[in-house]
């Protein structure tokens, strides 16, 4: 198990979906570093691709380490890393929106709010 992200590429705020919205039964993750799949929506994909986002061409393995709770209990700030950071580089910029997936299911929505220098 990864205990911390030593060289994060960014920070992001995630809003975890409630169970009624299709989110996780246990709510936001509780492990020190959560690994999942993410996808960055690009202009209208949801409307034109059957089964999207589960069928997105570009999916990435993302690492998230919680920094703090912001707003309500389902909204949190995270340090962000990727298992293959060079592949995600062109998608990772201030304001970039992304979806956290567990299998074909979207469990959270995120937005990059700071990218670290040198990334």
Q: Supply the pLDDT for residue 48.
A: 45
- CA nearest 58: which of 82, 94, 31, 24? 82
Using pLDDT thresholds of 50, 70 and 90, give the confidence band for residue 58.
confident
More confident residue, 52 or 30: 30
Q: Is the pLDDT of residue 38 over 60?
A: yes
pLDDT > 90? residue 93: yes
pLDDT of residue 51: 57
Taking 70 as the threshold, does the pLDDT of residue 24 lie above it?
yes
- Is the pLDDT confidence value at 53 over 80? no
Q: Which region holds residue 6: left if phi is over 0, alpha if psi is between -120 and 50, else beta?
A: alpha
CATH superfamily of 10-115: Translation factors (2.40.30.10)
Give, for 107, the enclosing helix (H) or strand (E).
Answer: strand 105-115
Q: Mean pLDDT, to the nearest integer, of 86-115? A: 93
The answer to whether residues 98 and 106 touch, using CB atoms and an 8 Å cutoff, is: no
pLDDT beyond 80 at 107: yes
What mean pLDDT value characterizes the chain? Answer: 87
Whether 10 has a pLDDT exceeding 70, the answer reads yes
> What is the C-alpha to C-alpha distance for residues 104 and 29, in angstroms, rounded to an integer?
17
């Amino acid at each position: 198990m990864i205990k911390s992200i030593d060289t994060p590429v960014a920070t992001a705020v995630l809003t975890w979906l409630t169970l009624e919205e299709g989110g996780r039964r246990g709510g936001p993750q509780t492990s020190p570093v959560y690994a999942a799949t993410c996808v960055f929506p690009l202009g209208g994909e949801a409307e034109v691709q059957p089964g999207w986002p589960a069928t997105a061409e570009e999916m990435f393995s993302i690492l998230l380490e919680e920094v703090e709770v912001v707003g309500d209990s389902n909204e949190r700030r995270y340090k962000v890393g990727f298992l293959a950071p060079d592949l995600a580089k062109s998608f990772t910029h201030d304001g970039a929106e992304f979806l956290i997936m567990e299998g074909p299911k979207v469990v959270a929505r995120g937005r990059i709010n700071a990218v670290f220098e040198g990334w």
